[in-house]
Amino acid sequence: MKKLRPWSRVCMHLLGPACANHRVMNDARALRIAGYQVTIVDVVANCERRRATEWVDGIQIRHVYCASWFVPVRFKLLFLLKLIILMVRCFVRLLGVRADIYHAHVEHTFLAMYLVARLRKKGLIFDTPELTMSVPAIQCWPRLRRLAIACIRHMSRSCDSYITGSPDYKLLLLYTYGRVPVLILRHIPPSRACVRNTRLQQKLGLPEHMRIALYQGNLQSDRGLEALVFAAPYLKPDIVIVLMGDGYDETLDILRDLIQYDQLEDRVKLLPAVPYAELLDWTSSADLGLLLLPPFHSLSIRYCLPNKFFEYLAAGLPILSSRLPAIAEMIHQYRVGQILDDFSPVRIARAINTLISDRDRWQTLHDNALSAVAQGLTWEEESKKLIDLYQHIGFKHTGVYFHLS
């Protein structure tokens, strides 16, 4: 009797550069370490020095070149046409990748991956870390949104599993896209020792005794960052707010204008994003992690459990968060911070002042954060669920488990 070959080849696909997406790269590295052959098809802007195929940490990355495909245009239907053309190009590129399991990252890639997986009769994973269809930019196109949801519901019938990043997303995904097994995969940083330092203070030219309330992540309109700027005048003199990340839409310009208009250059500092490999070293020089996301902006925000929550914990930072159910549950479970319901500038500043200035309480929250990490809040532990999913899909289609190397 011929022995069935275990499923060991993986193809992932995302719109954007793979190396800049640490969530995708963490997945790929975990699978590679487990012995899978991993190929990623990504989308990058044209670059003369970039090869069509690259290797990173034993992972093959095949690029689809599409200069400025993401740039908004006034005529939105033209943007849709550009997106359709891009999907066709990605589909052609994906046809050149022989894989046993196809892993689509975010809704925009699902159609191309679905078609390839169906043609090859292979496994299919739909990875949607957020509730994409709930964001205002999508909801303002109700007819196209309904059409997209209907198409995804149809394609999901051939899907082996959804993957998402928050336990509170599960029921909403099932309601929106149909009943398919769901894996909750929290994207937690890989385990590493974090040492308290003064890197941010040195970068900003601040005295070492200055305390920092840090927001790290994308600087965009659904992050509640303007409220932090308004709260800055009420902070104690030895506390500053640092907003560190890349700017999206018009948010960065708005923040700069607010800071300049209110003459808050000494109270609020803006820094660009740093390489992910260095991120926790920077985070460890702060005293408080900020997560004051507006709960009613969208369902995706309200029920999120973002990467930065776990990054703050890994660096030992107490967390100040708005009342978002998944985050609030973990803050109460591990006793690592405070939930804030009142977003008035005075209340925000008062909470920041208290959490940072009460050193006994700060030390307790700091120790609790590090204890939570020691109890298993690491990517090494979390990624075992991803490997188990792949093993299950392989067994489902072949009857043979893929043994780890």
* SS3 per residue for 162-222: EEECCHHHHHHHHHHHCCCCEEECCCCCCCCCCCCCCHHHHHHCCCCCCEEEEEECCECHH
Contact status, residue 178 vs residue 160, Cβ threshold 8 Å: no
pLDDT of residue 403: 55
The two structure tokens encoding residue 377: 């809040």
Burial 135-153 (b: 16+ CB within 10 A, else e): beebeeeeeeeeebbeebe
Confidence of residue 144 (pLDDT cuts 50, 70, 90): confident
pLDDT of amino acid 193: 87
Question: pLDDT-based confidence at 3, cuts 50/70/90?
Answer: very low
Lowest mean pLDDT, pick from 72-76, 219-223, 351-355:
72-76
pLDDT at 47 over 80: no
Tell me the CB-side half-sphere exposure of residue 354, using CA atoms within 13 A.
12
Binned at pLDDT 50, 70 and 90, residue 113 comes out as very high
**Interior/surface letters 225-237, b for 16+ CB within 10 angstroms, e for the rest:** bebbbbbbebbee
Residue 282 CB: number of other CB atoms within 10 A?
21
Alpha-helix residue ranges (DSSP H) falling in 262-322: 279-283, 299-302, 307-314
Burial status of residue 359 (CB atoms within 10 A of its CB: 0-12, 13-18, 19 or more): exposed
- Indicate whether 349 pLDDT > 60: yes
Q: What is the mean pLDDT of residues 374-403?
A: 86
Q: Which residue has the tokens 């809704």?
A: 107
Q: How far apart are CA 26 and CA 327, in angstroms?
A: 22
State the average pLDDT over residues 305-332. 97
Position 115 scores a pLDDT of 96
| Of 172 and 46, the one with more pLDDT | 172
What is the C-alpha to C-alpha distance for residues 117 and 115, in angstroms, rounded to an integer?
Answer: 6
Domains defined along the chain, listed by start: 10-188+379-398 (3.40.50.2000), 199-374 (3.40.50.2000)
153-181 mean pLDDT: 95
pLDDT band at 401 (very low <50, low <70, confident <90, very high): low
**pLDDT exceeds cutoff 60 at 118:** yes
Rounded percentage of the chain residues whose pLDDT exceeds 70: 92
Over range 72-95, report the average pLDDT: 77
- Rounded to whole angstroms, how far apart are CA atoms 70 and 91? 18
Q: What is the pLDDT of residue 2?
A: 37
Q: Say if residue 362's pLDDT is above 60.
A: yes
pLDDT (mean) for 259-277: 95
Does pLDDT of 49 surpass 80?
A: no
Which two structure tokens, joined as six digits, stand for 299? 């369902």
Sheet containing 37-44, strands listed edge to edge, beginning at the edge strand earlier in sequence? 53-56, 59-65, 37-44, 9-13, 101-105, 123-127, 161-164, 182-184
Q: Which residue has the tokens 């990173």?
A: 56
* Helix locations, 238-343, DSSP H: 251-261, 279-283, 299-302, 307-314, 325-334
d(CA 120, CA 112): 13
Q: How many residues does the chain have?
A: 405
Dihedral sign of CA atoms 256, 276, 361, 359 in order: negative
The mean pLDDT value for 337-363 works out to 96
Reference 229, options 201, 251, 206; nearest CA is 251
